[in-house]
């Protein structure tokens, strides 16, 4: 019985790990994109068109990966936001900064309670 009651907490922890992994991936992708941007620029200035072209192709792939990761963050965050709205957030089109801050604080309190 105890293991069944922990299932939702395990699911939340798994989603949180996935979200943090996606966030870390975005940061890493930014560094990789910057590196290939610099490599492309140096190769162009040095007249090495093949390396510049290859760096540009790889950079484009990395940018697509970054966009995919950003989309994953939205997908992972959306259920949390919906849960907060269903829990009694004001029902209107715009969300104020104060409401966002309250949701973050509530999530942090909930996380601290689970730890």
pLDDT, one tens digit per residue, over 62-115 is 999 999 988 888 887 777 677 766 776 555 566 677 777 787 777 767 655 544
Q: What is the pLDDT of residues 14-50, one digit of tens each?
A: 677 777 888 888 899 999 999 999 999 999 999 999 9
Angle between helices 49-86 and 97-114 (to 10 degrees): 80
pTM over 0.85: no
Domain ranges of the chain: 10-114
């Amino acid at each position: 019985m105890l293991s069944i009651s922990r299932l939702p907490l395990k699911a939340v922890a798994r989603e949180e790990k996935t979200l943090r992994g996606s966030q870390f991936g975005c940061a890493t992708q930014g560094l990789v994109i910057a590196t290939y941007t610099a490599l492309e620029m140096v190769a162009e200035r040095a007249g090495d068109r093949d390396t510049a072209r290859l760096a540009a192709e790889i950079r484009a792939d990395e940018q697509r990966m970054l966009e995919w990761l950003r989309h994953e963050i939205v997908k992972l965050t959306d259920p949390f936001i919906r849960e907060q709205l269903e829990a009694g957030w004001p029902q209107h089109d715009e969300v104020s900064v104060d409401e966002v801050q309250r949701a973050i604080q509530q999530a942090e309190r909930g996380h601290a309670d689970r730890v």
